[in-house]
Amino acid sequence: MDTKFEALPPLKRFRLMQQQREEQEGGQQHHQQKIQESDESTAKNLCLPAKKRKYCFYPPPLPSSDSPATRTVGAGGGIGSFTTYSLPAKKRVWAIQPDLSFLDLNVEWKPPSFIETKDECIQEQEEIQQEEEEDDGILCAVCQSTDGDSKDPIVFCDGCDLMVHATCYGNPLVKEIPDGDWFCAQCLAANDENRAFSCCLCPVGGGAMKPTKDGLWAHVVCAVLVPEVFFEDPEGREGIDCSKVPKTRREKRCYICKSKRGCSVECSEPKCCLSFHVTCGLSEDLCIEYREGKKGGAVVAGFCKDHTEIWKKQQQTGKYKIVARDDCKK
């Protein structure tokens, strides 16, 4: 009994004690009713789409294993726990809780290797295209091109399998394509002399060669791209004349093969002192271009590796271009 009710008369004491007991019971019922209403509002909130749910700082607890939101399903006696999460109604599914125990959070994350940059993708496409061209196997020994048509076909030598365009090689292909076997100048001379041929303008062997006026041999492409070398018959590309090649050109060392044999072409960049053989430059994909003018003038431009990349960018922007000497005077 509460001490504050002891001094009161019995009847009044009984009434106050009964009133206190009723207030305590009413408070407990009111508290339980609030808890029940909170649970009902939480369940109702979970059933709503994500955009219509009321924000709550403390998220509702996940359903326990005894609640109807958790089910145990097993195939062949197996047991798996399926739980629904607070997802939108359209995205809510029964999903197996993942086992993340195998993850090591102390390991440094590395990006996957299949992520490539734009430059790597372009380089890969160029390599694939180059491999396809090489797999084809048909390549002109003079212009290094695989294009050929009925007017300018690629002709094969029946003696050494040399492949050249008719216009690149000159006579006799430029006049008429033979119906039967065709043998290049080297194969015809080898039957008479039985010796190996080497180019007097570069140290590289093989390829499309023709005899010079002084009894030597030279690549057709070297004769075209070395500025001081000329043809007596430009259309037929016969009679290679190397007499006007200066001595200083023959004394320069090729920065690619490190050899002084033959004659080297200087880089067309005025402040660059590098020189290279024509065939060495073509093998390294350097820019070496020949332009003929309408009145017979011509110019040869060649660049080293560094200036080749700069020149290609300038050509793409249209800032500079190679023209013949007689055309640039207009």
Rounded Cα distance between 152 and 246, Å, is 35
Share of the chain above pLDDT 70, in %: 63
Per-chain mean pLDDT for the chain: 75
pLDDT of residue 297: 54
Q: Per the confidence metrics, is the pTM higher than 0.75?
A: no
For 168, 218, 222, 276, the CA distances from 226, given in Å and listed in that order, are: 16, 11, 6, 11
Lowest mean pLDDT among 10-14, 196-200, 255-259: 10-14
pLDDT band at 276 (very low <50, low <70, confident <90, very high): very high
Give the pLDDT mean for 10-36: 76
pLDDT of residue 274: 92
Give the pLDDT mean for 74-86: 46
Give the DSSP per-residue string, 132-167: HHHHH----TTT------SSS-EEE-TTT--EEEHH
By the 8 A CB rule, do 277 and 203 touch? yes
pLDDT of residue 26: 75
pLDDT of residue 211: 92
Q: Which ranges of 48-84 does DSSP label H, i.e. alpha helix? A: none
pLDDT at 184 over 80: yes
Instruction: Please tell me which residue, 191 or 219, carries the higher pLDDT value.
Output: 219
pLDDT at 200 over 80: yes
Count of H-run helices and E-run strands, the chain: 9, 13
Give the pLDDT mean for 99-122: 66
Instruction: Please tell me which residue, 95 or 320, carries the higher pLDDT value.
Output: 320
pLDDT band at 18 (very low <50, low <70, confident <90, very high): confident
Instruction: Please tell me which residue, 287 or 115, carries the higher pLDDT value.
Output: 287
pLDDT at 35 over 90: no
Give the DSSP per-residue string, 270-327: TT---EE-HHHHHHTT--EEEEE-TTS-EEEEE--HHHHHHHHHHHHHTS-----HHH
The three-state secondary structure class of 44 is helix
pLDDT at 246 over 50: yes
pLDDT of residue 169: 92
Q: Mean pLDDT highest for which of 79-93, 133-147, 202-216, 289-303?
A: 202-216
pLDDT band at 17 (very low <50, low <70, confident <90, very high): confident
pLDDT at 136 over 70: no
